[in-house]
Each structure stands twice: as structure tokens, then as C-alpha cells.
């Protein structure tokens, strides 16, 4: 049985997923970043950690076969398939303060921190998601450059849940830079056994 969820541009969605279910995240139009966050169904204080994921995989890249870990060093997801191969593990969710800092327009701007907190019913002061499809280049001097995503219309990544989780996912709201190719679009999430 397959469940389909459409996440409109600049919005979020919460989805309950059971262990061993497949999660397919589809970039419908191409060039759209997905802020992918999750909490353990049994303990909302255990959640996705890109930092721990980087530590355990000893890499800033996600590859097919890699695990995505929680802040408690437990596997949460396994990468089963990936059309793009470029995802960001560095940036926190966009939020009003970020829009003020870079673009001077944070007041009332839709943002992934508020969208994910709202759908999860939580008040995380900061969220570090896995930024699916986000392309962050790292220069030899350590400088980071956000470039347009490499994802094309219909590209997807498939994950298998390693525990029961509650997803908090947002279609990123940044239209002011190359992050989402300068415009924000919808994404689709499919859940199947």
C-alpha cells in the first residue's frame, strides 16, 4: 500500500512512518531543496542529526547504502536509491533571523523552522535537517558556496526507516538565492511497505 503526500512550496508536512517502510522524496519540478527532519516515535528528544551522520559515515556526502543517524547515534534511515547524489549536511533550517541577516526580510517570511515545528507541534529553537537536493560546494580554503540544486524534475531519493519515526519535512522557502534555483516549488513524499 502506498500513501502519497504533496507538500506545497514554502510549507511543511508531518508523516508517521513505521520501521522498514520506504520513504520516497520526489523533486517534482527540479531544483527544490527538502528540509528532511524526523523524531523517534518513541522519544521525540531523539531526532535526525546531520552532525552525527557525518561523524558515523566519516563523510560530508550521503551515498547509497549509508545510514542517517540520530543525535543518540542510532540509525534512523538507510539510503536505498538516489537519483541526484548531492545533499547538504551543513546548514540549519532557514528561519526569520537568517532572512534578516542575509536578505533583511525575515518578518513574516515563510521558513522551514516554523513550518517543521508547526507540523510536529514542537518548539525546537533550531533544527539541523538533512537538506535533500541542496548543493553546497566547499572550496579548498573552506569557504562554502550554495549553488542551484542538481536535481531535475522527477528526481528522487529513497530511504528505508530503521525505526518508527515521525517525519517533519518542509519544501524549503528560500527564493532569494540559488538554494532553490531562485524559486520555490512543491515536493511529493510517498510512503510504502
Q: What is the DSSP string of 87-137?
A: -BSSPPPP-HHHHHHHHS--TT---HHHHHHHHHT---S----EEET-EEE
| pLDDT tens column, 112-169 | 999 999 999 999 999 999 999 999 999 999 999 999 999 999 999 999 999 999 999 9
pLDDT at 25 over 90: yes
Nearest to 15 by CA among 42, 36, 43, 45: 36
Q: Which residues sit opposite 191 in a β-bridge?
A: 3, 23
Q: Are 17 and 167 in contact (CB under 8 A)?
A: yes
pLDDT at 16 over 90: yes
What is the percent of the chain with per-residue pLDDT over 70, rounded to a whole number? Answer: 100
What is the percent of the chain with per-residue pLDDT over 90, rounded to a whole number? Answer: 97
Structural domain harbouring 111: 2-192
Contacts of 58 (CB under 8 A, 6+ apart): none
pLDDT at 106 over 90: no
Q: Are 157 and 34 in contact (CB under 8 A)?
A: no
How many domains is the chain partitioned into structurally?
1
Nearest to 130 by CA among 44, 18, 73, 48: 48
Give the SS3 label for residue 21: coil
| pTM for this model (two decimals) | 0.96
Identify the band that residue 1 occupies on the pLDDT scale cut at 50, 70 and 90.
confident
Amino acid at each position: 500500500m502506498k500513501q502519497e503526500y504533496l507538500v506545497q512550496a514554502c510549507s511543511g508536512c508531518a508523516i508517521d512512518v513505521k520501521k522498514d517502510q520506504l520513504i520516497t522524496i520526489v523533486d517534482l519540478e527540479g531544483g527544490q531543496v527538502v528540509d528532511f527532519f524526523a523524531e523517534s516515535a518513541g522519544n521525540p528528544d531523539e531526532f535526525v542529526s546531520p552532525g552525527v551522520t557525518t561523524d558515523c559515515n566519516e563523510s560530508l556526502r550521503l551515498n547509497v547504502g549509508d545510514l542517517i543517524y540520530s543525535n543518540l547515534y542510532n540509525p534512523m534511515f538507510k539510503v536505498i536509491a538516489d537519483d541526484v547524489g548531492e545533499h547538504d549536511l551543513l546548514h540549519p533550517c532557514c528561519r526569520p533571523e537568517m532572512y534578516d541577516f542575509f536578505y533583511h526580510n525575515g518578518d513574516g517570511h515563510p521558513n522551514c523552522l516554523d513550518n517543521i515545528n508547526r507540523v510536529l507541534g514542537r518548539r525546537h529553537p533550531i533544527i539541523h535537517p538533512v537538506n535533500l537536493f541542496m548543493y553546497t560546494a566547499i572550496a579548498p580554503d573552506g569557504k562554502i558556496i550554495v549553488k542551484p540544486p542538481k536535481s531535475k524534475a522527477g528526481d528522487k531519493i529513497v530511504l528505508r526507516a530503521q525505526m518508527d519515526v515521525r517525519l517533519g519535512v518542509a519544501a524549503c522557502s528560500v527564493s532569494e538565492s540559488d538554494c532553490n534555483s531562485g524559486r520555490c516549488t512543491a515536493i511529493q513524499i510517498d510512503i510504502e511497505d
